[in-house]
Structure 1
């Protein structure tokens, strides 16, 4: 079923045409990836579809009752509410419905003797209907859903009820905005760079969650591993147009390469035909006997629909080189421990980096990966341990936050001031390779996008000609095509690399060793990311298999104990709910029994009959509740 369709959508900003005649179809279960170079118009198209901005022309047709949810880049929550309060606000309709249920219970418990039996039956019917709706709408499970999503996105250890959102970092606020959107469960989920600020574990959780998501998904991501795992359709925005490809990212790359080859053959064939026509016209136009044929060929040539020569998107172009080689041992880290105030980040960290290794440092957000880099760069002093460089090591550092850039400087000055020995022509040539053309080089750093700042930092890093690169999230802010150029440059690089990255595609291509950082030390894996996943799975299986009989029993007992405690909590909550309802009915029974002793009631046979019928119904309900309470109590005791 088609839930959304764009027809002829066009958008310009001033004289810059961003999108032209965009046609897109979204089915109810599609998983669509939107790709293209930075500035191609991907985010603009998402905003148009989400009705955040209007197109200049074209239509957006949305199926009836389709709910659209949109997460923009860096769109963090801003509120003084706690994490729990903000997430619960998604289910305000259930919370209000629960209040209504409680009010119905109060009304039934306090019915005065003047009210007749029909009024009570009406309340009971309403109560039955509303409680069934409450159950069907997830009234008894939404809190568990909140906890599950928050845990998956890395908030498992947070004080959910007391942590105000305004005290969190920008990345944490963005993750919470995503959590809230997932809880809302729109029919069409629109995500702009959802993998930013997620560690590897959270990424894996998000992939699993989105795979089983009941609605359609439209997303922009530069995470190729994520696109390969999740999407089944790719739309590429190129030169203001959109092209549809069926399949994941890897399949799109193959299809696009095949399409370019086909178009090149068509272009070459047409060029040969054009050359033949032009030669015939030139030779025969002046001859009386052949001029008509030449004129006919000229008309044919004029009517011909010319094929543009297919070209790839223009991307950055660079290579990393070194002035000299380092010694065989590049870096030695021994017994390192670090923390701030009374909080420990990690301890017992020891490892050695050898020449020409490509080592990835991974671990959950907040474990201290960037802090370890700052320790290596002598920005911090460790609480314990030593860091020593080998001989002839020249370090180049890439900072994901680009804090080393000077915001008030122009691009050309930012680079030239560090390398004054180069000529202006050489600087401009280098910047041209990083897509800063003409007057672009005079833009101030503070006015650049994240991707443009990243390219300036890479240009400076390339010029340093270091033999040891420390790279902190080097693919952040880069589009897919620039990431591939960076990967190729690093693969050809003759030096040594130690890097932090959450880009699993990048990890797979670059890493020859993975160091997993945790609070108590490190674990080494001699391979890329796929190897790391394979070994982790093997270790987990081997750990289970290698357990002694006693350990297996202990582990099984622990699992049983967790399940037992979970069941205990559920049973206690059920008992509390039953006791509350029993208490209300007992009070109501006592009130009616008291009323039946009043002369104005027992002398009125109709009223007395009505009260006795009501009393019998309540006692029957009470008896059932008491049996259920007793059975639940026995289960709890067992």
Structure 2
């Protein structure tokens, strides 16, 4: 069933066309990813689809009663409500039904009503219908579901009474997404939903959205997210869209094949045009061949030109080099504590980094990853411990907040003022490699988009020729194509890298070691992101099965390579056993949940019977039993949701 479609949507800003004749279809169950370079018009298209702005031409058609939910980039809740109270506004209809059920229960129990058989029967029927509707639509599960979603978004019971206006911008964005998920619109439209999410939350969101009952339309620069979630890709380029079936990797393969075919057609047409033009030039002046030449000229005028494929257009191009080689020992961190003011974020941090390593720093948001990087580059003092650099170490720091940029300066002078001995043409050449050409270099930093500012910061970093790069979320604000260029540059970089990122594709491609930041130390994993996740999963399975003391397990994870084949065999055996235990517990819970729902329904039916309402003691006893079963049901649902994560 078609839920939504765009028909010939066009939009221009001034004289610049952004969207031209956009035709898209979104059907039940589809998960659509919308991709394109920064500035292609993706967010504009989403705003038109969701009614935030009007198109110049075309229309949006929706199926009857189809509901849309929209999360804009960096949008967040702004209210005086507490977290829990705001989430409960989604379920006002359940609250009203609960109030009505309690009102009907009181009326049905009224001796005067019981005496009127006809009225009593009508009230019993009304109560039975409302109770069935309440149950079928999830009236008994909405609080447990809310707790599950909040837990997935890293909000815990101790946070529920926090006023939302006291939260950070990132927390407000996560909460806005949580509320939207609870609302369950038929079409969920998300513009960069992975912003401000740590890796654990990203994994939870992917699983949740894969089971989402409605359709999805998502803009994201996270390839891992797109690969695991979407089954249709629409690419927006040159103001138009092209549809591809499959995930992001499938799209890349199909796009490559399509570009090759287009290039062949383009080259064939260019050869034909050259041949015709040559014929015209050779024969237009001859009396005997003028008519033939004029005929070919008309043929040329009628020919519809094939545009050169987008892959042949200019892309960013840069590389990172070093001025000199560092010593083998690049960084030593010993018993360091980090934080700001009187706030301690993490302590007992000890690790070292050797020349040539590419070390990723992972951990939940708010634990101090950016703070640790700023402490290492001496922008913040450590609260305890020592940080030492090896010989000949030259630091280069990429700050995700780009505080080093002077917003009042022009792009040209942002680089030239730091490297005044360079000639202007050389500065312009560097900026040209980062896609700043012509008058673009005279724009002020304050006028640039997030992606453009990121490219300026990368240009400055490249010119430093540092042999130790410390990068804080370097892929933020970069489109998918710019990320690929950055990855290639870092893969060829001859120095050492220490970086924070939540881009799992980037982590897999760049990292050779992972450091997991905890409040009381770091855990080292010798491998990329996939290896880290594999070892984390093993640890969680072992802990859930209570197979070893937590301390011994942690020590094993810090040195994950098994000492023998026998030990590896036993680990695999125990991991499989733990997984079987988890699956059995899920089955037990599902059976218990079904029984509890049947019991609650039976108690509701019993409360509707006249002989029960006439016995007030019996009615009170059954009502207490029903409430106790509801509490038990909530507990089971919460455990079931946690086991599914």
Q: Does 1:43 align with 2:43?
A: yes
Q: Secondary structure at the match of 1:245?
A: strand
Q: 1:454 offset after TM fit, Å? A: 1.3
Q: Does 1:26 align with 2:3?
A: no
Q: Does 1:462 align with 2:462?
A: yes
Render the CA deviation track for 1:101-128: whole Å, top value 9, x for unaligned: 1122222334547973222222221111
Equivalent in the alignment of 2:317: 317
CA distance in 1 between partners of 2:307 and 2:625 (Å): 81
CA distance in 2 between partners of 1:434 and 1:549 (Å): 52
Q: 1:625 offset after TM fit, Å? A: 7.4
CA distance in 2 between partners of 1:284 and 1:356 (Å): 66
CA distance in 2 between partners of 1:631 and 1:169 (Å): 40
Q: Secondary structure at the match of 2:310?
A: coil
The correspondence of residues 316-355 of structure 1 with structure 2, limited to 5 A, is 316-339=316-339, 344-355=344-355
Distance 1:146 1:291, change over 3 A: same
CA distance in 1 between partners of 2:137 and 2:187 (Å): 19
Distance 1:236 1:615, change over 3 A: closer
TM-score (norm 2): 0.85
Equivalent in the alignment of 2:191: 192
Distance 1:365 1:549, change over 3 A: closer
Equivalent in the alignment of 2:177: 178
Checking the alignment, whether the CA contact within 8 Å between 2:109 and 2:613 is kept in structure 1 is no
CA distance in 2 between partners of 1:174 and 1:361 (Å): 23
Q: Secondary structure at the match of 1:308?
A: coil
Render the CA deviation track for 1:349-395: whole Å, top value 9, x for unaligned: 21111111111101111121111112112233323321100011110
The range that moved more, 401-410 or 263-272, is 401-410
The correspondence of residues 508-547 of structure 1 with structure 2, limited to 5 A, is 508-541=508-541, 547=547
Equivalent in the alignment of 2:563: none
Distance 1:291 1:633, change over 3 A: closer
Q: 1:291 offset after TM fit, Å? A: 4.2
Distance 1:615 1:506, change over 3 A: closer
Equivalent in the alignment of 1:618: 613
Distance 1:478 1:61, change over 3 A: same
Q: 1:463 offset after TM fit, Å? A: 1.4
Distance 1:356 1:281, change over 3 A: same
CA distance in 2 between partners of 1:339 and 1:274 (Å): 67
CA distance in 1 between partners of 2:486 and 2:113 (Å): 82
Q: Does 1:394 align with 2:394?
A: yes
Checking the alignment, whether the CA contact within 8 Å between 2:114 and 2:610 is kept in structure 1 is no
Q: 1:320 offset after TM fit, Å? A: 1.2
CA distance in 2 between partners of 1:41 and 1:231 (Å): 20
Equivalent in the alignment of 2:492: 492
Checking the alignment, whether the CA contact within 8 Å between 2:71 and 2:190 is kept in structure 1 is yes
CA distance in 1 between partners of 2:158 and 2:389 (Å): 38
The correspondence of residues 203-282 of structure 1 with structure 2, limited to 5 A, is 203-282=202-281
Q: 1:52 offset after TM fit, Å? A: 0.6
Report the number of matched residues. 596
Runs of 5+ consecutive residues of structure 2 not aligned to the other structure: 553-573, 633-645
CA distance in 2 between partners of 1:463 and 1:513 (Å): 26
Q: 1:279 offset after TM fit, Å? A: 3.1
CA distance in 2 between partners of 1:403 and 1:134 (Å): 53
CA distance in 1 between partners of 2:14 and 2:111 (Å): 69
TM-score (norm 1): 0.86
The correspondence of residues 63-462 of structure 1 with structure 2, limited to 5 A, is 63-110=63-110, 112=112, 116-156=116-156, 158-160=158-160, 162-312=161-311, 314-339=314-339, 344-462=344-462
CA distance in 1 between partners of 2:332 and 2:185 (Å): 51
CA distance in 2 between partners of 1:490 and 1:114 (Å): 80
Runs of 5+ consecutive residues of structure 1 not aligned to the other structure: 586-613
CA distance in 2 between partners of 1:5 and 1:630 (Å): 50
The range that moved more, 84-93 or 362-371, is 362-371
Q: Secondary structure at the match of 1:98?
A: helix
Q: Secondary structure at the match of 2:25?
A: strand
CA distance in 1 between partners of 2:392 and 2:8 (Å): 60
**Root-mean-square deviation (Å):** 3.5
CA distance in 2 between partners of 1:261 and 1:326 (Å): 44
Q: 1:309 offset after TM fit, Å? A: 2.1
Larger Rg: 1
CA distance in 2 between partners of 1:527 and 1:224 (Å): 20
The range that moved more, 296-305 or 399-408, is 296-305
The range that moved more, 203-212 or 519-528, is 519-528
Checking the alignment, whether the CA contact within 8 Å between 2:82 and 2:164 is kept in structure 1 is yes
